[in-house]
Amino acid sequence: MAEIAIIGGTGLSELDALEITHREVVATPYGEPSGPVTHGRLFGTEVVFMARHGHGHTIPPHQVNYRANIWALRNVGIRRVLSIAAVGGIRKDMHPGGVAIPDQIIDYTWGRQHTFYEGELRAVTHIDFTQPYCPELRQRLIKAADEAGIDVTRDGTYATTQGPRLESAAEIDKLEKDGADLVGMTGMPEAALARELGISYACCAVIANHAAGRGATDIHADIEAHLKSALDKAREIMGALLRQ
Ligand code: HPA
């Protein structure tokens, strides 16, 4: 049985190299996940794949049912999740076309179903989120990148904004003052929900563009020019991780 799942974000609604064995529709107490859980083998390892935005990329970041997705993965036995997420680069070394393995998160989202702890509770509900990403899985990812010969940025604070619009330049200035290095729309509540269910979770952030006000070109042109090459790097790192 697979113990690792890959949640694919923008640009990664399917994994070409995945030898699919079957797709499983999982009913959850939290409603419908973004799609069926796809079981298969990737580079010889059993994995599960989930397209965060749905198979045809139709679910915007603020409408992803993060609880259903994480619950469904846990329900099929998943213990580790590798999130692939497109982001904008704020810090100078976060170049479009590059990849970063963030180590911190700031959550600016609102109105999302962000916890499994609600209703009648019997246990302590305050998960420790000091290290929002699993340190061990992060180190494995960094090692995988080294093995694949891919230069990754080995840290970074990921600011999660609500979306679906991109940010204003002033908002990016504020995020930078807050200590953010990267900005994306899907990092939370996904990471916290995984922690609530005891799933080890780390993120391979694919830097698609300069954040608003930071680049010389239009953001969409930036994404068009750089998302694919960043995703190619993420795929190589994923391959090396699974071969470890
Ligand atoms: N901001 C927010 N989310 C994103 C960006 C961005 O610049 N690029 C890719 N996802």
Ligand 1: nearest atom to the Cα of 209: 8
Distance of CA 205 to the CA centre of its chain: 7
- Name the residue with higher pLDDT: 199 or 12: 199
Task: Spell 16-32 as b/e; 16+ CB within 10 A means b.
Answer: eebeeeeeeebebebee
Ligand 1 centroid – CA 78 distance (Å): 28
Pocket-forming residues, ligand 1, beta carbon under 6 Å: 86-88, 161, 166-167, 183-185, 208-209, 211
The two three-digit tokens of residue 10, written as one number: 């923008």
Ligand 1 centroid – CA 160 distance (Å): 9
Polymer length of the chain: 244
The number of beta carbons lying within 10 Å of the beta carbon of residue 244 is 10
- pLDDT band, residue 130 (cuts 50/70/90): very high
1 is in an annotated binding site: no
210 is in an annotated binding site: yes
- pLDDT band, residue 148 (cuts 50/70/90): very high
Ligand 1 centroid – CA 219 distance (Å): 9
Q: Which pLDDT tens digit goes with each residue over 37-77?
A: 999 999 999 999 999 999 888 999 999 999 999 999 999 99
**Angle formed by the axes of helices 219-243 and 135-148, to 10°?**
100
Task: Output the pLDDT for position 80.
Answer: 98
User: CA-CA distance, 193 to 33, in Å (whole number)?
Assistant: 14
Task: Output the pLDDT for position 54.
Answer: 92
Phi, psi (rounded to 5 degrees) for 116: -90, -10
Ligand 1 centroid – CA 64 distance (Å): 16
Percent of the chain clearing pLDDT 70 (strictly above): 99
User: CA-CA distance, 10 to 172, in Å (whole number)?
Assistant: 21
Task: Output the pLDDT for position 41.
Answer: 95
The two three-digit tokens of residue 63, written as one number: 């409408």
Ligand 1: nearest atom to the Cα of 219: 7
Beta bridge partners of 7: 50, 83
Q: What angle do CA 152, 192, 169 make, to 5 degrees?
A: 60
Q: Is 0.90 exceeded by the ipTM?
A: yes
User: CA-CA distance, 225 to 175, in Å (whole number)?
Assistant: 24
Tell me the C-alpha to C-alpha distance, in Å, between residue 124 and each of 30, 56, 71, 111, 201: 21, 38, 19, 23, 21
Ligand 1 centroid – CA 22 distance (Å): 32
Task: Output the pLDDT for position 16.
Answer: 83
Task: Output the pLDDT for position 14.
Answer: 79
**Best-predicted range by mean pLDDT (4-13, 118-127, 225-234):** 225-234
User: Which whole number is the average pLDDT over 172-189?
Assistant: 98
Phi/psi-derived region of residue 117, left when phi > 0, alpha when psi is between -120 and 50, beta in every other case:
beta
209 is in an annotated binding site: yes
Distance of CA 236 to the CA centre of its chain: 16
186 is in an annotated binding site: yes
| Location of structure tokens 């962000």 | 114
Q: Which pLDDT tens digit goes with each residue over 73-125?
A: 999 999 999 999 999 999 999 999 999 999 999 999 999 999 999 877 777 68
pTM of the full structure: 0.96
What DSSP state is assigned to residue 33? -
pLDDT above 80: residue 26: yes
The two three-digit tokens of residue 169, written as one number: 């330049």
Percent of the chain clearing pLDDT 90 (strictly above): 87
